[in-house]
Amino acid sequence: MKRLEGKVAVVTGGARDLGRAVAVKLALEGAKVCVNYAHNEKNAEDTLALIREVGGEAIAVKADVTREDEVKALFDKVVAAFGPKIDILVNVAGGMVARKKVEEQTSDWYDFVMNLNMKSVWLCTREAVQYMDKGAAIVNFSSQAGRDGGGPGASLYATSKAAVLCYTRAMAKELGPRGIRVNALCPGMINTTFHDTFTKPEARENLHNSAPLRREGEAPEVADLVCYLASDESSYITGTGIDINGGCFFS
């Protein structure tokens, strides 16, 4: 019996990198998976192909999860495909987009970053819990930046990810009496296109030389932790923000 046999999972930002690894892992463990994506249909189709390779069942749904109407349409499609019960929500969608010093930031930029990283989590959680019963689980993606304030030009990104941590604790309290668990991950340096884009090569090399484990993390390692938090194996864990950074930062 697979750990997530018969369960339905929604993975926002599930078409690439961490989201893709999570979607494939959940499917491998028996869940029916909705792979949400915002723009790149090919990435989503590639993720579906990987899921089918491991014998999983999945659909891909395009939706901007910062928009209320599109989030509702996303969950309507999940329910139409898999039935009116959702067991797992993994809020991966988010990003830094660019590094900007405080004097370079505008009100529009503030709204964009906060909506991308925090409003998306709120909207998807609000919609998903309508279909969740006892035993369901929500896993949010925060960041090491949400713990330590982030690097240069990442102040709003870090702040939005810290908000995700606080919201995780709040939802754990609110939804706990209904038997719904809510946890968050705080990934550090994971080998993804995020760090290919936003982290200088010398910073990554420095981590290889100084981190306790002397390496970056890999997306499947993050996906393994998500799967654990989504399964009954973690049935007494809620309201936590779990660091996964190879020992580079301790909260």
Residues known to be catalytic = 157
Cα distance between residue 183 and residue 147, in whole Å: 15
Closest by CA position to 136, among listed 94, 165, 171: 171
Q: What are phi and psi of 101, to 5 degrees?
A: -70, 160
Token pair belonging to 18: 């961490």
Cα distance between residue 203 and residue 182, in whole Å: 32
In this structure, what DSSP letter does residue 137 have? E
In this structure, what DSSP letter does residue 86 have? -
Cα distance between residue 75 and residue 98, in whole Å: 29
The answer to whether the beta carbons of residues 244 and 188 sit under 8 Å apart is yes
In this structure, what DSSP letter does residue 52 have? H
Which residues are paired to 167 by β-bridges? none
Q: What are phi and psi of 217, to 5 degrees?
A: -85, 165
Q: What angle do CA 109, 110, 115 make, to 5 degrees?
A: 100
Cα distance between residue 110 and residue 120, in whole Å: 14
